[in-house]
Amino acid sequence: MRRAIYRAGAVTLLLALIGTAVLIGATPATATPISAAPTWAHLSPATSPSARSAGASMAYNSATGQMILFGGFGSSGALADTWNWNGATWTQLFPATSPPPNAGASMAYDPVTGQMLLFGGLGSSGFLNDTWNWNGVTWTQLFPSSSPSGRAAASMSFDPATGSVILFGGSNYGENALADTWSWNGTNWSQLFPATSPSVRSSGSMAYDPATGQMILFGGSDTRGNSLNDTWSWNGATWSQLSPATSPSARVGASMAYDPATGQMILFGGSDTRGSSLNDTWSWNGTNWSQLFPATSPSARSSASMAYDPATENLVLFGGATSQAILNDTWTFGIPPVVGMAATPNGGGYWLTNAAGCVYPYGNAAAYGSLSQQ
């Protein structure tokens, strides 16, 4: 509703959308935004998790309507706290049971089983391979008969094509990077043996793109700590390396998620082989990467947590780290909401404007009658 004004038979709906104008006349036709570039916005929630990096786990649970963040690595070491984002602020939750403190655990929501799945990570006892489910109130440990080996910084996402959660790579003992592919069916993990596969890596960025039907994996770090910038697609049976004409530079720990509100797969930040943090924003269209240049942007960082929040129709990004500090700031990425409405100078129609100065056509004066300001 923030990106387009739909048919409305009552003035009250229009007031709810723009809050600043009254439209007198006929019912308006559907409008389409002509200049609505998404951007980053820095939020200042009343409460917030402490600063953390090393892959604090975050995902949206559509069954419970919760954006859940768990663990990560803070100033005092690995964490085990659970937080919920409600679109305006963070609230710490206190479940009866919880995974042990860990950093770099993989988390994804499985709509087929209704499970918010958390796997592995690095804890005080070393690399973990435990599997947990968040039910909206507490964490429950699951005990599959088969499981990937202990690891941290594995890439994990739900694959609608196969109706299963896919996990790839990560790193384990001796910081050895892995290249195995696993599938979760709600009860057990099963190792897959695709004909082709990405090279070994940890902290690669992976997410499903429903616009193109692709599970995309980008970058990461190999066993020697070299950052990568290759792009791979998973089709449910095997991996295929893609050859985009343009691509982000090599990086590890970049944040990536699909934004259905803008129809874009968004990648942000990460760090290069030298350890320098990045703050560029990129979009994947199914064939190529395109760099975006939003009006505002988070500071450079790697290993920030990012997921899409349907309640606010924005991507939410939290924390991460630079080479000097760990962070606990909250950002959103999306199209700013409509905040005003005015007639065009030539009298040919009305335009909605939002906080970023984007304009939306809203029909013509002849069809809609007159506009008065409150």
Q: What pLDDT, in 10s, does the model give residues 74-115?
A: 988 999 999 999 999 999 999 999 999 999 999 999 999 999
Q: For the residues 12-29, what does the mean pLDDT come to?
A: 28
Q: Is residue 246 scored above 60 in pLDDT?
A: yes
Burial 127-137 (b: 16+ CB within 10 A, else e): bbebbbbbeee
| Amino acid 55: pLDDT | 76
Number of residues written out for the chain: 374
Summarize pLDDT for 180-201 with one digit per residue, the tens.
Answer: 999 999 999 999 999 999 999 9
Radius of gyration in angstroms for the set of CA atoms belonging to the chain, rounded to a whole number = 22
Q: Is residue 216 scored above 70 in pLDDT?
A: yes
Q: For the residues 24-47, what does the mean pLDDT come to?
A: 65
Residue type, 143: F
What average pLDDT does the structure give for the chain? 84
Contact residues for 81 (Cβ-Cβ < 8 A; gap 6+)? 49, 70, 71, 92
Of residues 333 and 367, which shows the higher confidence score? 333
Q: Is residue 12 scored above 50 in pLDDT?
A: no
Q: For the residues 326-347, what does the mean pLDDT come to?
A: 72
| Amino acid 19: pLDDT | 30
Q: Is residue 4 scored above 80 in pLDDT?
A: no
Q: What is the pTM of this model?
A: 0.82
Helix (H, G, I), strand (E, B) or coil at 367: helix
Percent pLDDT > 70 in the chain is 80
Burial 77-86 (b: 16+ CB within 10 A, else e): ebbebbbbbe
Q: Is residue 294 scored above 90 in pLDDT?
A: yes
Q: How far apart are CA 171 and CA 44, in angstroms?
A: 34
Q: Is residue 351 scored above 80 in pLDDT?
A: no
